Chains A and B, each alone.
Chain A
Amino acid sequence: MWKTIRRWFDPAELRSVGEPPDYRFSLANERTFLAWLRTGLALVGGGLAAAQFLPPLPMSHLREVIAVALLLLGAAVAIRAVDHWARTERAIRLGQELPASRFPAILALAVGVGALLLVVAVLMRAVGDR
């Protein structure tokens, strides 16, 4: 794991494998990384917004739980973005197939389940208020 992390910070090592690719593919790979990074930043922003704009919720500390979950998810998305970028760059240079990933599906499921839970919380509150 540490070796992988060290590899991200060592551009020379990434450049040492395979053939220099068509620069357009590197640029496209970089744009994909940036799009994922913005997804992570949006989750971080959502966590910060939840912490300050949500009204007090019926369950104690639910607001903090939502905020921290979004913030940690955002950080995870950012780290995964750089890992996937490095693996893709390596595959392009070696002429291999691009790395497959379950991450987008898992993220979509996590966000979907989280949204459903919030719907349930909102409905419970609406019923409780009646």
Chain B
Amino acid sequence: MSTGRDPGLQAERTRLAWRRTLLTITVVTVLAVRLASTGDPTGALIAGVTVLVWGALLALCWPRATGTGPARTGGRTLPLVTVGTVVLASLGVLLALRGLW
């Protein structure tokens, strides 16, 4: 590239998009933990797993969200974040149907 790289904007915007995504994941986690906390053991178990998934997603997204670590796009991070989202949705289904068991 003769023009050289545009150093800031594109990477910065992508970083901010990762931050927004992490924030959304956190809100979803809070909603799930709130739904799970009714005091029964099943709820506590699901709440614990949800917090673990949140921690894993936080660790996974952190380098992308802060620009630390190798500045790369793509890779395994994207499918893994998708898996985390699907796991959160599945735990949500368990929580939503808990009263019907």
Binding site for B on A (CB under 8 A): 8-9, 11, 14, 22-24, 26-31, 33-35, 37-38, 40-42, 44-45, 47-52, 61, 64, 67-68, 71-72, 74-75, 78-79, 81-82, 85, 89
In angstroms, Cα B86 to Cα A81, docked, is 12
Excluding A41-B25, A51-B92, A74-B85, 16 further A-B contacts by CB distance (< 8 Å) are: A8-B79, A24-B6, A26-B73, A27-B11, A27-B13, A30-B73, A30-B78, A31-B14, A34-B17, A45-B24, A47-B89, A48-B92, A50-B96, A64-B96, A74-B89, A81-B82
Secondary structure of the B side of the interface? Answer: helix
- Say yes or no: B31 contacts A49, CB within 8 Å: yes
Name the 6 nearest CB pairs between A and B, nearest first. Answer: A75-B89, A67-B96, A48-B31, A8-B79, A26-B73, A51-B96
Q: What does DSSP make chain A's interface, helix, strand, loop or mixed?
A: helix
Option from A31, A40, A75 in Cβ contact (under 8 Å) with B17: A31
Give Cα distance in the complex from A49 to B14, angstroms. Answer: 28
Chain B residues bordering chain A, tally (CB within 8 A) = 40
Can you give 7 contacting A-B residue pairs, CB < 8 Å? Answer: A9-B79, A9-B80, A26-B73, A30-B73, A42-B24, A44-B85, A52-B31
Residues of A within 8 A of B73 (CB): 23, 26-27, 29-30
Bound-state Cα–Cα, A90 to B19, Å: 26
B81 interface residue per 8 A CB criterion:
yes
Q: How far is the CA of A89 from the CA of B81 in the complex (A)?
A: 17
